Amino acid sequence: MLFFLTWPGVGSQLGRFHFKRTGVKVAVFGKRFEASFMPHCIDLFQFLDDNGCHVWIYAPFLDFLEQEMGFLPRVAGCYSDAAGLSGCELLLSIGGDGTILEAVTLVRDSGIPVAGINSGRLGFLADVSGEELIPAMTDILQKNYHIRELNLLQVETSGGDFGELNFALNELSIAKRDNSSMITVHAWLNGEFLSSYWSDGLIIATPTGSTAYSLSVGGPIMHPQAQSFVISPIAPHNLTVRPLVIPDHFEMELKVDARGGKFMASLDSRSRVMDQETIIKVRKAGFSVRMIVRQPNFYCTLRKKLMWGADARN
């Protein structure tokens, strides 16, 4: 299919018909964003079209652009699942870090490089801003970028609760549900008992996830190349219980005691209510996500995103 656009200041063009391209096959993934980002979105699709890219767009994102933004981008077709990404050489995620987490559920183990275009504010993964979009896309199409291999964790439960999407780029979180009582999370590492965490929950985070939920409960920041996971309790009853960094080749087993008999388990943004009889096993996933980074210096990212070294008085 071929789509053209209408937007204030942009003329209407052709309609929805297939056309042949000889350039790079690019997948575009996105969710909602503010209207202030719309000019950058128009620039992106115009740039891809000018450079002969064969663009495929996530169907719900196209619906959002058309129905809420009055914008019909010029694309070759739509996709709605992982199979629709077959043959794509690049995926552009428009949104924030949460949008990238959702895009990863489609990319999976395909090896398709992912570039994050930030339509919001803070983003560790979505590091291309609207203002630098065209220079960044020029570099990307010319393959002038670095690839950062991001490790994931994988979960197995006795009930198979997460199905095929049993992996997470950021973290697995265990949390209490529907009452004020703490839960107890019993943890084993490689078959050896570690501890019983009396707390509101427990987070097992990857290096990527160490700057997300885990950071908010006092967990350490880990370098992206660290081959580790961090175990961070949420509001532990014993204040001497602190986050623990473990090698990512360790296997972890969890068993939860909850007063109501149920607890919440979440892989990134995907949550399931589980019975306390459920046994959860956590290990490193057998694949990684290939993230495109234009600035490979992680310390620069920390200074920029977390304002390290900035003087609040100025």
The annotation status of 200 as a binding-site residue, yes or no, is: yes
Round to whole Å and give the CA distance between 131 and 172.
34
Round to whole Å and give the CA distance between 91 and 82.
12
Longest Cα–Cα distance of the chain, Å, equals 66
Round to whole Å and give the CA distance between 39 and 26.
20
The annotation status of 170 as a binding-site residue, yes or no, is: yes
The annotation status of 85 as a binding-site residue, yes or no, is: no
The annotation status of 97 as a binding-site residue, yes or no, is: yes
Full 3-state SS string of the chain? CCCCCCECCECCCCCCCCCCCCCCEEEEEECCCCHHHHHHHHHHHHHHHHCCCEEEEEHHHHHHHHHHHCCCCCCCEEECCHHHHCCCCEEEEEECHHHHHHHHHHHCCCCCCEEEEECCCCCCCCCEEHHHHHHHHHHHHCCCCEEEEEEEEEEEECCCCCCCCCEECCEEEEECCCCCCCEEEEEEECCEEEEEEEECEEEEECCHHHHCHHHHCCCCCCCCCCCEEEEEEECCCCCCCCCEEEECCCCEEEEEECCCCEEEEEECCEEEEEECCCEEEEEEEEEEEEEEECCCCHHHHHHHHHCCCCCCCC
The annotation status of 214 as a binding-site residue, yes or no, is: yes
Round to whole Å and give the CA distance between 87 and 200.
44
The annotation status of 299 as a binding-site residue, yes or no, is: no
- Annotated catalytic residue within 43, 49, 50, 97: 97
The annotation status of 212 as a binding-site residue, yes or no, is: yes
Active site annotation includes 97: yes
The annotation status of 208 as a binding-site residue, yes or no, is: no
The annotation status of 215 as a binding-site residue, yes or no, is: yes
The annotation status of 257 as a binding-site residue, yes or no, is: no
Round to whole Å and give the CA distance between 45 and 134.
10
The annotation status of 216 as a binding-site residue, yes or no, is: yes
The annotation status of 58 as a binding-site residue, yes or no, is: no
The catalytic residues are 97
> Residues at the annotated binding site?
97-98, 170-171, 200, 211-216, 235
> Residues at the annotated binding site for NAD(+)?
97-98, 170-171, 200, 211-216, 235
